[in-house]
């Protein structure tokens, strides 16, 4: 079979909604796109541990402490599932981490904002995880088997993430004046970054078309963003939070909440590394990765010493 026949056969499988598995033939572009997107997704989960970790020692109750710690742990676990799924494409985790630390791989820009009060933990769970779930539910239907399976597991586990965030916000909105102010402040700072998580408008999105053809994405950025807005605006109003968008209005014909323009300059500036926490997140990652190097060396040396000993005794 020549390349073109292979490509046609591949596209036919995609069109028939078959899943592609690691050992199947796939075009280079498909593999590369998946590696880029999946490793970025994995890095996002791992870097996402930092802004939430910023509050784990200050959580205000034993219950809150346990929930937050378990949630951050889930993020780490999800990073791990995604690294494993990406490894099936022929890249190992060492290399992915190198790419991240050298700035050749990205992670979600939303984690480059600081967490400044306890309500930020609520806002991250409710808005950031809420946006992520909309995206991940779509990705669970993607054509690459290992990615789709990882997403299914992640969606199942993240069921509680958004709810715990909304619960924090709801509790604070029925609390003291100071608590209500903190909740609204967090809402004001996280609303727009959450909308940006869906990426540029479809008309501006560099990778969208090909990804749709290959069913790496099955719905467009704008459609997913709208779904998130529709769900979330009503949740915000329900607990008395104001959405920080003067142009927000309900469109009775389309049944959608229409919203004001997104500040794409801010988005691209953060993507390019100029966000408030880009440097901090990366230097944290590098510092603790390097500090763990002797541990990893020791563990491997132990295993080698053990194997040597066993070989000698035979």
Q: Does 145 bind another protein (CB under 8 A)?
A: no
Which one of residues 15, 17, 76, 249 is an interface residue with another protein (CB under 8 A)? 76
Residues 81, 192, 214, 267: which binds another protein (CB under 8 A)?
A: 81
Under the binding rule (CB under 8 A), the answer on residue 180 touching another protein is no
Rule CB under 8 A: choose which of 58, 213, 272, 308 binds another protein.
58
Alpha helices (runs of H) in 174-243, residue ranges in sequence order = 177-196, 208-213, 221-238
CB 143 within 8 A of CB 103: no
Q: Three-class SS of residue 92?
A: coil
Among 56, 138, 155, 212, binds another protein (CB under 8 A): 56
Taking the least distance from each CB to another protein, the nearer of 86 and 232 is: 86
CB of 229 to another protein, least distance (A): 28
Tokens 């903190």, located at residue? 182
User: Which residues, in sequence order, are CB contacts of 228 under 8 Å at separation 6+?
Assistant: 130, 131, 134, 194, 195, 198
Question: Which region among 81-89, 187-195, 197-205, 234-242 touches another protein (by CB under 8 A)?
Answer: 81-89
Hey, what's the torsion of the CAs at 129, 132, 137, 142, to 10 degrees?
A: -150
CB atoms near residue 76 (< 10 Å): 13
> 43 — alpha (psi -120 to 50), left (phi > 0) or beta?
alpha
CA distances from 27 to 185, 205, 260, 307 (A): 47, 21, 39, 40
Structure tokens of 170? 């709801």
The separation between CA 35 and the C-alpha centre of its own chain, rounded to angstroms, equals: 15
Kindly indicate which of the ranges 18-26, 185-193, 202-210, 233-241 contains the residues binding another protein, using the contact rule CB under 8 A: 18-26
Closer to another protein by Cβ: residue 73 or 258: 73
Decide if residue 159 touches another protein (CB under 8 A). no
Rounded to whole angstroms, the Cα distance separating 207 from 186 reads 32
17, 32, 60, 103: which one contacts another protein (CB under 8 A)?
A: 60
Considering only the stretches 108-116, 216-224, 249-257, 281-289, report the one whose residues sit in contact with another protein under the rule CB under 8 A: 281-289
Q: Kindly state whether residue 296 participates in binding another protein, applying the rule CB under 8 A.
A: yes
Residue from 12, 29, 32, 73 binding another protein (CB under 8 A): 73
90 dihedral zone (left: phi>0; alpha: psi -120 to 50; beta): left
Does the footprint of another protein cover residue 219 (CB under 8 A)?
no
Q: Per CB under 8 A, which region of 29-37, 133-141, 253-261, 300-308 contacts another protein?
A: 300-308
Query: Which residues from 96-135 bind another protein, rule CB under 8 A?
Result: 97-98, 118
Q: If residue 67 lies in a helix (H) or strand (E), which one and from where to where?
A: helix 62-87
Q: How many residues bind another protein (CB under 8 A)?
A: 66
Whose tokens are 């069913």? That residue is 215
Neighbouring residues of 67: CB distance < 8 A, sequence distance ≥ 6? 164
Q: With respect to another protein, which residue has the nearer C-beta, 234 or 279? A: 279
Q: What is the token pair recorded at 156?
A: 């199942």
Q: Does 301 bind another protein (CB under 8 A)?
A: yes
Contact set with another protein (CB under 8 A): 21, 23-25, 46, 49-50, 53, 56-66, 69-70, 72-74, 76-77, 79-81, 83-84, 87, 92-94, 97-98, 118, 150, 153, 157, 168, 171-172, 175-176, 178-179, 284, 288-289, 291-303, 305-306
């Amino acid at each position: 079979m020549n390349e073109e026949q292979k490509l046609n056969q591949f596209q036919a499988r995609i069109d028939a909604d078959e899943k592609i598995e690691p050992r199947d033939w796939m075009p280079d572009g498909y593999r590369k796109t998946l590696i880029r997107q999946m490793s970025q997704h994995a890095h996002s989960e791992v870097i996402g541990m930092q802004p939430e970790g910023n509050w784990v020692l200050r959580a205000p109750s034993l219950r809150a402490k346990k929930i937050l710690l378990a949630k951050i742990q889930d993020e780490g676990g999800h990073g791990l599932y995604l690294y494993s799924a990406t490894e099936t494409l022929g890249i190992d985790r060492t290399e992915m981490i190198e790419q991240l630390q050298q700035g050749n791989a990205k992670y979600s820009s939303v984690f480059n904002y600081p967490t400044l009060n306890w309500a930020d933990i609520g806002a991250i769970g409710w808005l950031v995880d809420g946006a992520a779930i909309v995206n991940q539910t779509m990705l669970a239907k993607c054509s690459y088997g290992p990615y789709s399976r990882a997403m299914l597991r992640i969606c199942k586990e993240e069921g509680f993430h958004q709810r715990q965030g909304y619960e924090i916000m709801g509790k604070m909105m029925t609390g003291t004046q100071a608590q209500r102010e903190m909740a609204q402040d967090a809402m004001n700072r996280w609303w727009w970054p959450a909308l940006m998580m869906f990426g540029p408008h479809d008309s501006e999105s560099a990778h969208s078309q090909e990804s749709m053809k290959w069913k790496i994405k099955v719905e467009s950025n704008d459609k997913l963003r709208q779904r998130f807005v529709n769900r979330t605006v009503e949740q915000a109003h329900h607990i008395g939070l104001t959405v920080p968008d003067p142009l927000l209005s309900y469109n009775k014909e389309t049944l959608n909440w229409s919203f004001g323009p997104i500040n794409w300059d801010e988005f691209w500036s953060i993507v390019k590394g100029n966000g408030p926490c880009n440097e901090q997140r990366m230097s944290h990652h590098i510092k603790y990765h390097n500090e763990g190097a002797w541990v990893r060396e020791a563990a491997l040396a132990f295993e080698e010493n053990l194997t040597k000993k066993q070989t000698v005794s035979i």
